[in-house]
Amino acid sequence: MASIQDHAYLKICANIASLLSVSLASARRKVELIAAKEGVTSSQGRKEIAERLLLEARASSEKEGDTAAENLDNLLEALAEDENFMVED
Count of structural domains within the chain? 1
Confidence of residue 62 (pLDDT cuts 50, 70, 90): confident
Instruction: Look at the pTM and tell me if it is higher than 0.85.
Output: no
Rounded CA-CA distance 33/16 in Å is 15
Q: Which domain holds residue 37?
A: 7-65
Average pLDDT over residues 32-50: 93
Q: Identify whether 19 is part of a domain.
A: yes
Q: Identify whether 11 is part of a domain.
A: yes
Rounded CA-CA distance 31/24 in Å is 11
Structure confidence at residue 48 (pLDDT) = 94
Per DSSP, the three-state class of 80 is helix
Residue 30 · residue 46 · CB < 8 Å: no
Please report the DSSP string for 5-62 in residue order.
--HHHHHHHHHHHHHHT--HHHHHHHHHHHHHHHT--SHHHHHHHHHHHHHHHHHHHH
Q: Identify whether 80 is part of a domain.
A: no
